[in-house]
């Protein structure tokens, strides 16, 4: 049994065009993994040059891993500046920056 954690992930991009590319990559990953619910992210919204989405897990370690997988998916897209994942648990969460 683990510690439940949730986050609203904020991905900052240089332009709206880059934000759309990021959203498309995430939606593509979602389609691949929806069968076994590994990396399903919900409530994806593009807000200007920012992409926001929600994720939760029954284990904080699993949520950390899934955020790392998401960062690995998008970090090489030109124009991605940072990804902030503040966890709502007794912890600091994760922060990524290019």
For 47-94, write each residue's pLDDT tens digit: 999 999 998 888 888 889 889 989 999 999 999 999 999 998 755 567
Looking at residue 91, its pLDDT comes to: 52
Look at residues 3, 1, 2 and name the one whose alpha carbon lies nearest to residue 87: 3
DSSP state for residue 96 in the 8-state scheme? E
Given a cut of 60, whether residue 37 has pLDDT beyond it is no
Given a cut of 90, whether residue 33 has pLDDT beyond it is no
Number of domains forming the structure of the chain? 1
Given a cut of 60, whether residue 8 has pLDDT beyond it is yes
What is the extent of the structural domain holding 72?
A: 5-97
**95: β partners:** 84
C-alpha dist (Å) from residue 45 to 10, 20, 58, 72, 86: 10, 10, 23, 20, 17
Instruction: Give the CATH number for residue 24.
Output: 3.30.70.600
């Amino acid at each position: 049994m683990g510690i439940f954690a949730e986050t609203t992930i904020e991905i900052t991009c240089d332009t709206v065009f880059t934000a759309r590319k990021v959203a498309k990559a995430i939606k593509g990953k979602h389609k691949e993994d929806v069968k076994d619910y590994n990396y399903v992210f919900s409530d994806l919204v593009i807000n200007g040059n920012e992409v926001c989405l929600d994720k939760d897990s029954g284990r904080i370690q699993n949520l950390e891993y899934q955020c790392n997988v998401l960062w690995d998916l998008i970090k090489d897209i030109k124009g991605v500046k940072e990804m902030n994942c503040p966890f709502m648990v007794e912890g600091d969460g994760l922060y990524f920056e290019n």
